[in-house]
C-alpha cells in the first residue's frame, strides 16, 4: 500500500515518530523505498548537493521536475514530495499555482513543499482546495538566506518565536498537511508541535517534532564538508567511495582486475 497524506496524519495521531529523507535519483529513491521510508522529499538542496551551487537559489523548475520524475520512477510505496524552487511561487499566486501543478502532472509527485508563512497562505489554500497537498516549511528557510544574513538558527527571541507559532497555525488552517521546522530551538519545536494537529517534521528542531528529516548526502556521510550541528552521519560512504575508487585504480594498475571471472570466453 502506498503512503498517502492521510497516513502521515495518522502517524501524528497515533504518536508514531516517522522519518523523511531526501533523494534525487531513481536508484537512491528505490533503496529508501525498499527500506520502508514513508516520505521522500526531492529537496531543492539538490542545487547544493547534486549540482554544486553554493545555495538553493539557482535551482530551476526544470531541475526539480527532472529529478522528481526520476525519484518517482524509483518508488512504489513512498509519498514523494517535490520542493518548489526559489521564484517558482514568489512572484504571483497564479504562477505558484501552475508550477505546483506541474510537479503532480509532469513529474508524478504526490505533494509539493514550499517555504514561508504569511505570504504563501493564499497559495497553500488554493493548492489544497485544488487537490494538491502542501507541506509547509518554517524556521531557517534556505531560500531566504540573503534575508537572514546566513544559515542561522531562527526563532531565538520571543517575538520571532511567537511569529513562527502564529505562522504555523495559519499554515495549518490554510490546509498544509505537514510542516517542516528547520534550525529552531528545541523548545520552540516542541511548542509548535504541541499547538498543531498536523505533524511537524524537524531538521535541527529538537527531539519533540512528530518526524525527522535528513538530507541523503549528509546522513550517509557522502558530504564530507563541515555540516550543521543537527546532522547525524549514519554511514561513511564518502570514505567508502574513495577507498573503492582507489582499490579499482590499484587493481587495474597491478593487473588484478579484470580477472578471468570478469572476462568473456
Is residue 64 near ligand KIV by the rule CB under 6 A?
Answer: no
Question: At its nearest, how many Å lie between ligand KIV and the CB of residue 95?
Answer: 20
Would the CA dihedral through 142, 139, 17, 73 be positive or negative? negative
Residues 6+ apart with CB under 8 A from 259: none
What letters, b where the CB count within 10 A reaches 16 and e where it falls short, cover 159-174?
eebebbbebbebbbeb
Residue whose entry in the numeric block shows the C-alpha cell 520571532: 160
Site for ligand KIV (CB under 6 A): which residue of 63, 83, 167, 172?
A: 83
Instruction: State the pairing for strand pair 211-214/200-203.
Output: parallel
Among 3-11, 37-45, 90-98, 250-258, the segment contacting ligand KIV (CB under 6 A): 37-45
End-to-end CA distance of the chain: 46
Question: At its nearest, how many Å lie between ligand KIV and the CB of residue 182?
Answer: 6
Question: At its nearest, how many Å lie between ligand KIV and the CB of residue 210?
Answer: 14
Is residue 212 near ligand KIV by the rule CB under 6 A?
Answer: no
Is residue 43 near ligand KIV by the rule CB under 6 A?
Answer: yes
Is residue 223 near ligand KIV by the rule CB under 6 A?
Answer: no
Among candidates 224, 219, 181, 232, which has minimal Cα distance to 22? 219
Question: At its nearest, how many Å lie between ligand KIV and the CB of residue 218?
Answer: 9
Site for ligand KIV (CB under 6 A): which residue of 11, 18, 22, 68?
A: 22
Give, in degrees to the nearest 5, the angle at Cα 48 between 45 and 51: 110
Residue nearer to ligand KIV on the CB measure, 22 or 200? 22
Is residue 45 near ligand KIV by the rule CB under 6 A?
Answer: yes
Identify whether 258 is preceded by a cis peptide bond (ω within 30 of 0): yes
- E-strand stretches of the chain: 18-22, 39-42, 79-83, 111-115, 134-139, 178-182, 200-203, 211-214
Residue nearer to ligand KIV on the CB measure, 80 or 251? 80
- Between the CA atoms of 208, 154, 227 and 215, what dihedral angle is there, to the nearest 10 degrees? 60
Question: At its nearest, how many Å lie between ligand KIV and the CB of residue 237?
Answer: 18
**Annotation marks residue 182 as catalytic:** yes
Site for ligand KIV (CB under 6 A): which residue of 23, 33, 44, 165?
A: 44
Marked catalytic residue, from 95, 115, 182, 243: 182
Footprint of ligand KIV (CB under 6 A): 22, 41, 43-45, 83, 180, 182, 203, 213, 215
Return the active site residues. 182
Amino acid at each position: 500500500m502506498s503512503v498517502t497524506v492521510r497516513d502521515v496524519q495518522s502517524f501524528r495521531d497515533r504518536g508514531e515518530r516517522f522519518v523523511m529523507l531526501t533523494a534525487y535519483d531513481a536508484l537512491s529513491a528505490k533503496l529508501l523505498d525498499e527500506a520502508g521510508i514513508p516520505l521522500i522529499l526531492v529537496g531543492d538542496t539538490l542545487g547544493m548537493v547534486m549540482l554544486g551551487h553554493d545555495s538553493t537559489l539557482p535551482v530551476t523548475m526544470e531541475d526539480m521536475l527532472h529529478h522528481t520524475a526520476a525519484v518517482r520512477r524509483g518508488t512504489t510505496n513512498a509519498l514523494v514530495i517535490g520542493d518548489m524552487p526559489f521564484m517558482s511561487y514568489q512572484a504571483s499566486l497564479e504562477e505558484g499555482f501552475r508550477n505546483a501543478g506541474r510537479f503532480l502532472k509532469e513529474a508524478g509527485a504526490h505533494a509539493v513543499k514550499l517555504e514561508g508563512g504569511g505570504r504563501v497562505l493564499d497559495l497553500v489554500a488554493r493548492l489544497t482546495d485544488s487537490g494538491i497537498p502542501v507541506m509547509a516549511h518554517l524556521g531557517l528557510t534556505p531560500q531566504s538566506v540573503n534575508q537572514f544574513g546566513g544559515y542561522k538558527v531562527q526563532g531565538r527571541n520571543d517575538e520571532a518565536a511567537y511569529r513562527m507559532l502564529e505562522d504555523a497555525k495559519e499554515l495549518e488552517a490554510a490546509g498544509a498537511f505537514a510542516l517542516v521546522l528547520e534550525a529552531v530551538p528545541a523548545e520552540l519545536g516542541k511548542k509548535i508541535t504541541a499547538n498543531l494537529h498536523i505533524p511537524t517534521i524537524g531538521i535541527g528542531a529538537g527531539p519533540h517534532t512528530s518526524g525527522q528529516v535528513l538530507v541523503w548526502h549528509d546522513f550517509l556521510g557522502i558530504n564530507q564538508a563541515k555540516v550543521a550541528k543537527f546532522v547525524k552521519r549514519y554511514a561513511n560512504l564518502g570514505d567508502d567511495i574513495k577507498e573503492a575508487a582507489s582499490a579499482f585504480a590499484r587493481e587495474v594498475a597491478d593487473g588484478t582486475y579484470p580477472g578471468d571471472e570478469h572476462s568473456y570466453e
